[in-house]
Amino acid sequence: MIEEPFASGNSIIHGIDPRFRVAAATFYSFAVALCYQFQPLIAALAVALVSVLLSEVGLKTVFKRLVVVNGFILLFWIVLPLTYKGKIVYSLGPVNVYLAGIVFAAKITIKSNAILLVLISFIATMTFATLGHTLSRFKLPEKLVFLLMITYRYIFVIQQEYQKIIRSIKIRGFKPKTTLHTYKTFAYVIGMLLIRASERANRVYNAMRCRGFKGKYYSLTYFTADTKSWVFVTIVFGVTSGILLMEFLING
Amino acid sequence: MDKNQSIIKMRGINFSHFENSPILKDLDFEFLKGDKIGFIAPNGSGKTTLFHLMMGLIKPVSGTIEIFGKPMETEQDFSQIRHRIGLLFQDADDQLFCPTVLEDVSFGPLNMGKSKKEAIDISKRTLGFLGLSDFENRITFKLSGGEKKLVSLATVLSMEPEALLLDEPLTGLDTKTRTTITRALTEMNISYIIISHNIEFLKNTTSKTLTMRDGQIYTDKQVHVHIHDHAHVHGNIPHKH
């Protein structure tokens, strides 16, 4: 199950108009992605930490999310120090560890964690449905938004169908081995899942037609651009611009 | 509107998925205003197919369909009358596709051109009628089976249809949800056809029972649906009737 652990809350961030949050998070992410110096990156990470604290989300859950992403970043720490040529800090026989690689991996780590934390506090604090509607307000093509929402809705149904099939093969004593029988069974499972998904899609479309669907999707959400949303977006844009300025000044 | 106004009229309908095994053979059927029809027939006899033909979701091999007095030939014809007849699907997961309950229930009214405010008002009223007042912001896929069914019914009723086609509305539901659906149907002044295997439910909600055999519909006047009570003098000793 995809859950939305951060979506419900009463923090300052939760109260900001979703459109402003999406705009702020987008600007911040691009700005931070452009930075290469340690000073602006550390400033960005500090901003991200403050925003997570402001959004009052469960820090334990946030930490779990970070662990997943940093698992991928760990790969950079293995590959980059050994391959990014430059000053050697340590040698073990034919294997050299380069300083530039370590610096680069460190920057990537700070950058990704900062962006992730801001996305958690600005974007993950709204439901998927709200995000979809917000994106449609930003004139993202109607079809893309619709595809996103439908995918989100039916991913659970397909997952349930998958579990149903898996249960039904398990109760008949199926144990995966490296045999032709195993491969054949898995092929059947995938095939059956595809057929069921397409039949389901057909039935859903029919049900939508019965309710007068003619290709247009309406959104019920009302957005209110109040003072606090404007203050919020001004602060985020200001601070982010400051980070960018720092980057350009150091770069000369 | 007079009472005997025709809602759906089918003449000489033939339908089959594969060439040599017809599901519906030369079927004639008329659904009139005020009708409350129960449909009992074995699985696979073509009841759901019949509903889908009525809504224009599938096309008959031959035969004519008239709805509200107008011949239905093209998708265009059907798309103009679909909102006047509410079809409740067998599987609620097919019917609910919006993230939140309120959005799903207002989907129909919005498609019919109602304003956002009107759509929300009518949806709230419909949810209230089915005892789902506090469900508005619930997430549709996180509802229980019974709740999903009731919300599905709400999505159909919010279009304020003139007739309902209910495909096994009680299957897999608990007593409480069954009671809610029975109450809703008896309180509304609306024509409907119900496919069900539940005799007690049909007894409480319908005035006429039909069955299907060999691809045709039979009005079993002699076979009146009723529940038969008698004293059980043999207690728990196994016996045959």
ipTM of the complex: 0.77
CA distance A151 to chain B (A): 10
pLDDT at A63: 92
Find, among A27, A8, A5, A14, the residue nearest to A55 by Cα: A14
Instruction: Find the DSSP H helices in chain A.
Output: 18-34, 38-54, 59-83, 99-122, 128-137, 142-170, 180-210, 227-251
B50 compared with A201, residue with greater pLDDT: B50
Angle at A245 between CA A241 and CA A250, to 5 degrees: 155
The model's pLDDT over B124-176, given as tens digits with 9 standing for 90+, comes to 999 999 999 999 888 888 889 999 999 999 999 999 999 999 999 998 899 99
Whether the Cβ atoms of residue B196 and residue B185 lie closer than 8 Å to each other: no
Residue A207 has pLDDT above 80, yes or no: yes
pLDDT at B236: 66
Contacts of B112 (CB under 8 A, 6+ apart): A212, B83, B159
Which whole number is the average pLDDT over B180-207?
Answer: 92
pLDDT at B234: 62
Residue B215 has pLDDT above 90, yes or no: no
Whether the Cβ atoms of residue B146 and residue B83 lie closer than 8 Å to each other: no
pLDDT at B222: 47
Which whole number is the average pLDDT over A186-201?
Answer: 88
Residue B225 has pLDDT above 60, yes or no: no
The model's pLDDT over A139-178, given as tens digits with 9 standing for 90+, comes to 888 888 888 878 877 787 788 888 888 888 888 888 888 8
Going from N- to C-terminal start, the domains of chain A cover: 13-134+224-251, 140-210
* Cβ-defined contact of A210 to B94 (cutoff 8 Å): no
Chain B CB contacts of A211 under 8 Å are 82-83, 107-108, 111, 155-156, 159
Give the Cα separation of A212 and A219 in Å (integer). 16
Residue B116 has pLDDT above 60, yes or no: yes
Tokens of A120: 């958690």
pTM over 0.90? The answer is no
CA distance B238 to chain A (A): 33
Q: Which percentage of chain B shows pLDDT scores above 90?
A: 51
pLDDT at A1: 47
CA distance A22 to chain B (A): 20
The shortest CB-CB distance from B89 to any of A152, A203, A214 is to A203
One-letter amino acid for residue B209 of the chain: T
One-letter amino acid for residue A114 of the chain: A
pLDDT averaged over every residue in chain A: 87
Going from N- to C-terminal start, the domains of chain B cover: 6-219
The shortest CB-CB distance from B106 to any of A156, A157, A220 is to A220
Please state which architecture CATH assigns to domain B6-219: 3-Layer(aba) Sandwich (3.40)
The residue of chain B with its CA nearest to that of A3 is B142
Q: Which percentage of chain B shows pLDDT scores above 70?
A: 89
pLDDT at B185: 93
pLDDT band at B3, cuts 50/70/90? low
3-state secondary structure at position B63: strand
B51 vs A: CB within 8 A: no
The shortest CB-CB distance from A208 to any of B97, B116, B140 is to B97
The residue of chain B with its CA nearest to that of A127 is B99
Chain A CB contacts of B94 under 8 Å are 200, 203-204, 206-207
* Cβ-defined contact of A153 to B108 (cutoff 8 Å): no
b/e B98-132 (16+ beta carbons within 10 angstroms → b): bbbbbbbbbbbbbbbebeeeebbebbbebbebbeb
Torsion sign over Cα B147, B148, B152, B158: positive
The residue of chain B with its CA nearest to that of A205 is B94
